[in-house]
Amino acid sequence: MRVDKIRTKQATFAVLATSGSGRVLASFSVALIALRLTVGGAFAWHDLLVLGVALALVGSVEWIIHLFFLHAPEDAWVSRVLGTGLGHRQHHLDPPELRWLLLRWIDALVFTLAFSAVIASWVVPLMRLTGGSLLGPFLTGWALAAVGLLHYEWVHLLVHTRYRPRNRYYSRLARNHRLHHFRNERYWLGVTSNSGDRLFRSYPANKADVPLSPTARTLNDVLDSPQDSTHPRRV
Instruction: Name the pLDDT band for 232 (thresholds 50, 70, 90).
Output: very low
Residue extents of the structural domains in the chain: 3-209
> What per-residue confidence (pLDDT) applies to 166?
92
pLDDT of residue 79: 78
- pLDDT at residue 149 is higher than 70: yes
Dump the DSSP string for 14-36: HHHHHSHHHHHHHHHHHHHHHHH
Q: Is the pLDDT reported for residue 223 higher than 70?
A: no
Nearest to 46 by CA among 117, 115, 136, 122: 136
pLDDT at 230: 45
Q: How many CB atoms lie within 10 A of CB 41?
A: 13
Longest Cα separation, the chain:
54
The pLDDT-based confidence of 221 (bands split at 50, 70, 90) is low
Instruction: Return the pLDDT at 35.
Output: 97
What are the CA-CA distances from residue 220 to residues 30, 71, 112 (Å)?
A: 39, 9, 29
* Alpha helices in 66-167, H assignment, sequence order: 77, 86-93, 98-101, 105-130, 135-159
Please write the tens of the pLDDT for every residue from 28-71. Answer: 999 999 999 999 889 999 999 999 999 999 999 999 999 999 99
pLDDT value of position 233: 37
- Supply the pLDDT for residue 2: 94
pLDDT, position 20: 97
* 53 burial type by CB count under 10 A (0-12 exposed, 13-18 middle, 19+ buried): middle
Judging by beta carbons within 10 Å of its beta carbon (0-12, 13-18, 19+), is residue 64 exposed, middle or buried?
middle
Q: Which amino acid, 138? A: F
Q: Is the pLDDT of residue 226 over 80?
A: no
